[in-house]
Structure 1
Amino acid sequence: MAGSQFTLAALATTAVPGLVLTGTRTLGSAASGDYESAVLRDADGTLSAIRRPRNQRAEARQSADLVAIRALSAGIRSRLPFAVAEYRGQAPIGSTRAIVTTYVPGTHPTLRDLGERPELATSVGRAVAAVHQLPTSFVTDAGLPSLTPFEVLRSAVSVMDRAVATKLVPAALVERWEGAARDQQLWQFTPTVVHGALGTGVVLVDGDAVTGILDWGELRLGDPAKDLAWVLAGRRDGFDTVLSAYEANGGGRDRQLAQRARVYHELETAQWLLHGVQAKSTEVVDDAVAMMHRLVDAVQTPSAEPLQSVSPDTMEIGEVEQFLSSTERRHG
């Protein structure tokens, strides 16, 4: 462990000229995970973080994150009620590189915390709203992805179709998801700046306040509902509090936001199934199928929320496919 820390410390002094270190400690797990990481203290007490990817997947994620945090200028950051890591330097090591950023303190909350601590859930809703109100121009200027509602719908339908093709999706979910895909009103939204990968593992808190958000590699213009879907894995009152705070802090007037968030949340089971199929993992496939059957039980209760809008303007599934095909030709 100590050897790893000293290696990372040496890399940091190469990455940041003039850096004088007085201490270092391991960040995260020293033996597992996608990154080898450490927190560094320099002579004036400033803390930095260094991360070295352990595999190609981590290297790709780190590169995407670097592009995003460089796009977040000082002016953009000043609009956020939490900290974002700032780039300090990099140093090559083997076939990859180690990246040094400022250190963002805090601990990761749990979904249970959001249900039990309304003040924390309120802070999360406020933080997400602040991201979604950022000016869209900085995302397009940085060349980051910009998705239209059509492209978002096409992506969701693709996940549905590939999962259904495995013949492992319960009929009740097939019907429910196809109904959401046919609902034209559901997919009428204004693309906003979205983090794209929010979850308990990237949110940092101190007490009941969000102090930072990590891993910006999926930063883009897209569907704001995507950034709220993860909260649905916890208690219903936690999601309601987050959503109320989100709306109270200028998070838009999208009446279908909660329904689309539920679509994304439910499609996570389909994505887990597809991952299992691709990896040829019987264990993952069985787990995904079990999750889907539990989801069927949940959505068939009287208190279950629908996916479709209150008064949906629906298309038949063949019309959806024809619409996607024709629009793709026009955009192609």
Structure 2
Amino acid sequence: MARSHFTLAALATAAVADLDVRRAGPHGSIGAGDFDSARLSGSGGEEWIIRVPRTTRAEAQQSADLVAIRALSQGVRSRLSFGVPSYRGQAPIAETRAILYDYLAGEPLVVSEMIAGSGLPSSVGAAIAAIHSLPTSFVTDSGLTSHTPFEAMRSSASVVDRAAATGLLPAALVERWESAIQDSQLWQFQPTVINGSLEASSVLVSGDRISGILGWHELQIADPARDLAWVLGAPNDDSVDAVFDAYAAARGTSERQLRNRATLYHELDLARYLLHGSHTKNTEVVDDAVAMMSRLVDSVQQSDERPLVSGSTEALDVAGVENLLATTERHRSESA
């Protein structure tokens, strides 16, 4: 049963001594998702968010998020133009704990609204570039994960191999993805600080400005293309171009294969979705994944694009991939 926001408000006062909570209300979908959460207000206009994990997966995620948030010192945060959650306190409840954070203003980004010319795609590109420009030392000093280009390639190959082992992965996608994975030039990149779990719902916007980024539980040093994969779901090529152009301008560099790897990661979400369905023995998810991959094959063949290898100068324009992955997100929410 979902905990009420009044119960969560009481936990907040236990987490922080003398916390003056005057108002409490629900935050997010009540009784849905991995967390019970509430939005709290104080007498001086302060606002907080309190969250309690509902699953062991959510508890592990919350613990990792807390480690990352503590690693993001004030000096590191000063390099960012957007807000990052700040830890305020915690209180035990049952066999887990409630965590209190400062509230970050803004609404979750909706990918379909990321229209070229609106200023939002450029803001997204600049915000991601700011994360990737952070010094790597604070990540390593905090004992967080660091991955090499070889490990990034090997991880992608593992996803393809496991998906192919189900016997349900179309041969055209096996060939396309394996060709990309075997292209050594594609994996020649400099690992950077990345959020690691970046997606539209974790980006908070106010108008055309990025006001905050949530979800830092996979903070690490790895392939910057991972944080850009979800951008391929933007409404059209112009929107995607605007993100990547702003990213390149902000970083003062242009890595030729960045977009190709981002596209590969974006497409591999379908393989992960198939694996999720197979692992949970959910035939509806498996059938859905197979249908989506079939449509992706049609899109790849009809677009007459070259493979995602070093000779390719443009990322695959799969306009339907975001629609396919929207279904993925729906099933992930339902299975949470």
Scaled by the length of structure 1, the TM-score of the pair is 0.91
- The Cα shift of 1:175 comes to 0.8
- How far apart are residue 159 of structure 1 and its match? 0.3
The Cα offsets for residues 105-155 of structure 1, whole Å up to 9 and x where unpaired, read as: 111121111135530111000100000000000000011100001111110
CA 1:101–1:251 in 2, change beyond 3 Å: closer, same or farther? farther
- Corresponding residue of 1:317: none
* Deviation digits for residues 44-91 of structure 1 (CA, Å, limit 9, x no counterpart): 111111001111111111111101001000000000010001000000
Write out the 4+ residue segments of structure 1 that deviate beyond 6 Å after TM superposition. Answer: none
* Match in the other structure for 1:177: 177
SS in structure 1 at match of 2:289: helix
Counterpart residue identity of residue 209, structure 2 = A
> What pairs up with 1:216-227 in 2 under 5 angstroms?
216-227=216-227
Residue 35 of structure 1 is matched in structure 2 by 35
Residue in structure 1 matched with residue 137 of structure 2 by the alignment: 137
Task: Spell out the pairing of 1:1-332 with structure 2 (5 A cutoff).
Answer: 4-115=4-115, 118-235=118-235, 236-250=237-251, 252-302=253-303, 304=305, 306-310=307-311
8 Å contact from structure 1 (residues 114, 120) kept in 2: yes
1:2 CA displacement: 11
Checking the alignment, whether the CA contact within 8 Å between 1:298 and 1:304 is kept in structure 2 is: no
> How far off its partner does 1:238 sit?
1.7
Return the letter of the residue paired with 1:291: M
SS in 1 for 2:259: helix
For the 8 Å contact 2:2–2:36, the answer to whether it is kept is no
Q: Give, in angstroms, the shift of residue 301 of structure 1.
A: 2.6
Distance 1:5 1:266 in 2: 39
**Which residues of structure 1 form unaligned runs of 5+?**
313-332
- DSSP 3-state at the match of 1:40: strand
* Structure 2: tracts of 5 or more residues without a match: 314-336
CA–CA distance in structure 2, aligned partners of residues 16 and 71 of structure 1: 21
Q: What's the offset of the Cα at 1:253?
A: 2.5
Aligned partners of 2:212 and 2:117: how far apart in 1?
Answer: 18
Question: Partners of 1:3 and 1:304 in 2: how far apart?
Answer: 51
Change beyond 3 A, Cα 1:2–1:157? closer
Partners in 1 of 2:108 and 2:53 — Cα distance? 21
Q: Distance in 2 between matches of 1:56 and 1:302?
A: 43
Tell me how far 1:303 sits from its aligned partner.
5.5
Are the equivalent residues in 1 in contact too, given 2:144–2:220 (CA < 8 A)? yes
Q: How many residues align?
A: 312
The structure number with the bigger radius of gyration is 1
Whether contact under 8 Å (1:133, 1:251) holds in the other structure is no
- Helix, strand or coil: the match of 1:226? helix
Rate the CA distance shift 1:311–1:275 in 2: closer, same or farther, 3 A.
closer
Over residues 214-243 of structure 1, what are the superposed CA-to-partner deviations in whole Å (9 max), with x where a residue is unaligned? Answer: 010010000000000001123222211110
Q: TM-score if structure 2 supplies the norm length?
A: 0.90
Checking the alignment, whether the CA contact within 8 Å between 2:204 and 2:211 is kept in structure 1 is yes
Q: Give RMSD over aligned pairs.
A: 1.7
